[in-house]
Structure 1
């Protein structure tokens, strides 16, 4: 009986010490994270570019790079319209990632822009796109939109769509 009690007491002591060590380490690690407040990715703390890709066809790649000093969160999908709101890209809901795309300073996030939806026929030669970021609640960030010059010869139809923000170009271009 004494050996069994000794083992139980030793196991309990080791577990208590392990928990104490873990909780102290977790509290120490959490302190700096709370101090560094995150912000929403918007035009003033990112650089936005749009480029043509070879695959998939009829797609462009939107890239945002965090140019700020704090981590920014890219919520949902950007709102994209063409040539002063003539055409709007629909959000591709199936492209929603598991978590919000959080970008450290210098990191980039991506969204794909599908130019032609199936079964849509009304086409428009677009020269510019307007991109607006979304807030955490899904509404507008109420910041000035970014106006992007599109690659020459860009043609969109009324089925154009945009994916949610992704961490990699490859993930964005799946959509």
Structure 2
């Protein structure tokens, strides 16, 4: 499922988004898209689905990994997340759209970036906590997986910093 909010020239910027994510990640991705004069693609991956078809614009059809518990609503982009993105990006001159993409997050973002010939992929760090650090150590982070498997730039936006609301990444202008 895709929502389109205009179109922009040049190579798009792909940003990985998820419910509850710091708005700083999308804000920084929007700054890059504006500087490049390109479109921002806000992509949310669902590891419980797999691709069954794809278009040149990066949109995909998918099916549930578990057909016994298939919910076709899972294939659509989360309406609340889309509304949150709209609030973050309101008042900007950045053209953006949403995409729900199936599969492992790092693989799906990398595949999307390749499909649309993105200028870069933007992701955020996880919140800092003991549990998060152990989990990240045991299962490599999305950013690390992308960095190992991509030829295009992967930008990692730190979140959870004490100065998160300051000019370095608080608002999109």
Band the TM-score falls in, shorter-chain normalisation: under 0.3
Structure with more of its chain in strand, by fraction: 1
Task: Decide which structure has greater helix share.
Answer: 2
Q: Relative contact order, CA 8 A, sep 6+: which one is greater?
A: 2
TM-score scaled by length of structure 1: 0.26
